[in-house]
Amino acid sequence: MPRSARTALAVAAALLATAPATTPASAASCSIRATLKAPNHSPRANKDWWVTVTASPRIRTHAKYQFLFNDRVVSTQYVLYDRNYAFTGHFRDPLKFPKRATGLPLTLRVVLTNRCGTRNLDWKVKVRP
C-alpha cells in the first residue's frame, strides 16, 4: 500500500475514534421508567378490565398493546383505538378480551416509545368465561 494511502487511512481512523456519538445527549441521558397496573391476572371475557400505565420522565410517550401467545405476537391493538396515541405521565384504558381467548395463557405487552427509547411492560393473563 502506498505511503499516502496509509497516511489517509490513519487520519480517517483517528477522526472516527474521536468523533462524537451520533446519539443526542438528551436521549443518552434518559431512560424510560414505567409501571403497568391491572386488577388481576384473570380478566373476564367481554367485560371491561382496566389497566393503568405510568411512565417517566414526563415526556410525550406513544403506547400500543401487543398480545402474545407462546412468546409470539398474535395481535397488536391500540390504546383507545388510536394508532398514534400519545400521553404524558399516565393513562387508563379499559380492555376487553374476546370469548375465544378464554382459557389461553396470554401475555399483555404494553409497548412504550419516546425519545429515550422503547420499553415493554408484560403482564401474564388467563381469560375466564
Q: For residue 12, is pLDDT > 70?
A: no
Q: What integer pLDDT is reported at residue 80 of this predicted model?
A: 87
pTM score: 0.76
**Per-residue pLDDT tens digits for 51-102:** 999 999 999 999 999 999 999 999 999 998 899 899 999 999 999 999 999 9
Would the CA dihedral through 7, 8, 11, 12 be positive or negative?
negative
Architecture of domain 30-126: Sandwich (2.60)
Domain ranges of the chain: 30-126
| Residue 6 CB contacts under 8 Å (≥ 6 apart), including other chains | none
* 17/36: higher pLDDT: 36
Q: For residue 39, is pLDDT > 90?
A: yes
**SS3 of residue 10 by DSSP:** helix
Would the CA dihedral through 113, 115, 119, 121 be positive or negative?
negative
Peptide bond into 57 cis (omega under 30): yes
Distances (CA, A) of 83 to 3, 114, 122: 57, 15, 20
Give the Cα separation of 37 and 54 in Å (integer): 9
Q: Which of 54, 57, 34, 106 is nearest to 77 (CA)?
A: 106
| Residue 23 CB contacts under 8 Å (≥ 6 apart), including other chains | none
